[in-house]
């Protein structure tokens, strides 16, 4: 079965509002794809979490207004569940 992240593939959009300023938060991309060897922040999301969450895609959601960010797990879906129009 081919699972994919609906957010990575543009099937869904992020509708989260910043708890600090109320601005609409945006998807910063999948953290798995972030590669920054100097960032301890990324180190915390160890490979352990990656392995255990094969059905989820970890995204960085950020507020473009105040810079707050957080991690959000997006459940991967079966590709069949989304018919392309
Ligand atoms: Zn994703
Ligand atoms: Zn904000």
In this structure, is residue 70 part of a structural domain? yes
* Separation of CA 19 and ligand 1 centre (Å): 22
* Separation of CA 2 and ligand 1 centre (Å): 14
**CA-CA-CA-CA torsion sign (73, 5, 53, 69):** negative
**What is the pLDDT, as a whole number, of residue 20?**
96
In this structure, is residue 24 part of a structural domain? yes
CB 7, CB 27: distance < 8 Å: yes
Instruction: Look up residue 14 and give its two tokens.
Output: 């992020």
User: Over the stretch 39-61, which tens digit does the pLDDT of each residue have?
Assistant: 555 555 555 544 445 788 989 99
Instruction: Look up residue 84 and give its two tokens.
Output: 């392309």
In this structure, is residue 30 part of a structural domain? yes
* Separation of CA 58 and ligand 2 centre (Å): 20
| Residues found in the chain | 85
d(CA 61, CA 16): 8
Which residue range(s) make up the domain with 30?
A: 3-78
Quote the number of domains for the chain.
Answer: 1
Residue of higher predicted confidence among 52 and 78: 78
User: Over the stretch 16-44, which tens digit does the pLDDT of each residue have?
Assistant: 999 999 999 999 988 865 455 555 555 55
**What is the pLDDT, as a whole number, of residue 26?**
95
In this structure, is residue 85 part of a structural domain? no
In this structure, is residue 84 part of a structural domain? no
* Separation of CA 31 and ligand 1 centre (Å): 8
* Separation of CA 29 and ligand 1 centre (Å): 7
């Amino acid at each position: 079965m081919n699972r994919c992240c609906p957010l990575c593939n543009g099937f869904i959009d992020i509708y989260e509002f910043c708890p600090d300023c109320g601005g609409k938060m945006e998807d910063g991309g999948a953290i798995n794809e972030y590669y920054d060897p100097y960032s301890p922040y990324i180190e915390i999301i160890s490979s352990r979490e990656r392995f255990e969450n094969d059905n989820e895609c970890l995204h960085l959601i950020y507020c473009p207004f105040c810079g707050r960010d957080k991690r959000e797990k997006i459940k991967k879906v079966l590709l069949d569940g989304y018919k392309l129009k």
